[in-house]
Structure 1
Amino acid sequence: MVEQQAQQAQQPQQPAAPQGSQSDAEKNKIMAIVGYILPILFFIPLISDAKNSPFAKFHANQQLDLLLAAIAVNVVGSIIPVLGWFIILPVGSIALIVIAIMGIINASKGEMKKLPLIGGYELIK
């Protein structure tokens, strides 16, 4: 018994994971994914139990960025005749769908990666 305790004391301790990082991501994956499917629902993690989760808050911010980019693409594409209807709207919409899929993949993996092109804006503090 004493020998086992001595061996355990000699073994190096594993460093602790950052507080709440992996378990936080596991608990809030669904909340993080919901807003990428329908960006208008970005606020759901902010009013639910996940409001104190850095993971859910990060993805809610990315979803808000995605929503604002979608609004901008639709407004600009609708205002500019012909060029907007046949180039800006289709290309912009496809790009936003690809970016949303990237967000879903990041959230499902438990990663906090910023979305390309639009993810650099931190609107939710």
Structure 2
Amino acid sequence: MTPKEYFAQIAKESAERPAIRAAGLEALQRLVPIAQRDSGQSHTIGRFLLGLYNGVAYPFNLVELRGLDTPLFEDCLSVLRLDRRPEQEVHEYFKGGDAIWADFRKRWGKQ
């Protein structure tokens, strides 16, 4: 990639960032309540969110995403796009996020 192409890509990503942020935050608002439930999809989403929170302590196997319903899969991709260039830690988007993610660690962190 030439310097000109690199800077064009950066400019494109900057222009797209507001839409990526909005879609990611909307998706995150949908995913967190599902991760707080007790289902197979809750497990996958909880582990995915923990992986974004701390991928070293809570590694996530991307193959698990294959088991999600399509809308949930798409929401995970939107959150991943949001977190690609993080403005803040994923749990910080929520009031009480530390407590929410502490619950995720208890529920899904040892699986």
Q: Which TM-score tier does this pair reach, normalised by the shorter chain? A: 0.3 to 0.5
TM-score by length of 2: 0.33
The structure with the largest alpha-carbon Rg is 1
**Which structure's relative contact order is higher, taking Cα pairs within 8 Å and 6+ residues apart?**
2
TM-score by length of 1: 0.30
